[in-house]
Structure 1
Amino acid sequence: MEDKNKYFVVKQKAVPEVLRKVVEAKRLLESERVLTIQEATDRVGISRSSFYKYKDDIFPFYDNAKGKTITLVIQMDDVQGFLSEILHVVATYKANILTIHQSIPVNGVATLTLSVEVRSDTGNISKMVEEIEEKKNVHYIKILARE
């Protein structure tokens, strides 16, 4: 039997346009730039029925992450001082580092497992992950868990 309460973390490019528009309509309503659902759905270009169908099933990752622990796995080049660069990004976003484990490099590549606590003053975690991912010595970054 299919578990209807299962969650997935996917990159924005994998999310259908209608779902991205539902998120945008919710953001408009929360920011009080529009007063009605009809105005929000008109502005983003979806029907009200689409909004109601998906509104409880889609939300930006960072919106629901406050007070949670996020575990990241980062595969990166073994470059002197690079771990410090990654930790600087985490510090910039005010995420509280809980654990750090870096594997012994093999063929010049190391795997870093990093758990951070997302607090009320923590910045946008999605942007933090993107910023780390864009660094030239990062092969990939995955969100391993969210608790």
Structure 2
Amino acid sequence: MREDKDLFYLIRGDFLPEAMKKTLAVKEALDRGKASSVYEAVKEVGLSRSAFYKYRDAVFPFRTIQQAKIITLVFHLEDRQGTLSHLLDRIAKHGGNILTIHQSIPINGKANVTVSLDIEHLKVDLNDLIKELKQHECIHQIDVLSSGV
């Protein structure tokens, strides 16, 4: 039987407790050199050092998934001419290498498309790419199905 420490979950940011969000902010400040010590970083974000040390090895920003290099996304699209082409073009322009594509037959004007990407050479943060893709009027939802090598 697996222990809880061996399991990982992808959780939307607004569900995280404030201490975990602040832990991520401390880690980012340290990584980017905006703080020279844990003491300085926790003071800046308003987090206790004990809370930081409690969560530092348990919470990671989504972008660390990019180290896995392969991610599978599910898109819920309107069945309109050019929508899939636009989606694939945006991914390619940002350096994503499309490995597989599976599109369902459109039902009631909607289709699901599953795309597996090699994101090793992605030129933008994965979150930023997803935000950009969501802005297209025919892309209604994007879900992360899996990530890994």
Distance 1:22 1:135 in 2: 33
User: Greater CA deviation, 121-130 or 79-88?
Assistant: 121-130
Letter in 2 for 1:114: V
TM-score, scaled to structure 1: 0.91
Which position in structure 2 is the counterpart of 1:93?
94
Offset of residue 34 of structure 1: 1.2
Distance in 1 between the 2:18 and 2:86 partners?
Answer: 34
Query: What TM-score comes out, normalization by structure 2 length?
Result: 0.90
Q: Which amino acid aligns with 1:116?
A: L
Shift of 1:133: 2.4
CA distance in 2, matches of 1:9, 1:114: 18
What is the aligned partner in structure 1 of residue 25 from structure 2? 24
Corresponding residue of 2:105:
104
Which ranges of structure 1 fall in alignment gaps of 5 or more residues?
none
| CA deviation after TM superposition for structure 1 residue 52, in Å | 0.3
Distance 2:27 2:140 in 1: 34
1:41 maps onto 2:51 in alignment: no
2:130 aligned residue: 129
SS at match of 1:25: helix
How far apart in 1 are the matches of 2:145 and 2:9?
A: 11
What is the one-letter code of the residue matched to 2:129?
M
What is the RMSD of the two structures over their aligned residues, measured on CA atoms? Answer: 1.6
* Residue-by-residue CA offset, 1:51-88 (whole Å, 9 max, x unaligned): 10000111111124234210011111001001111112
In the alignment, the residues of structure 2 paired with residue 139 and residue 8 of structure 1 have an alpha-carbon distance, to the nearest angstrom, of: 23
Amino acid in structure 2 at the alignment position of 1:31: R
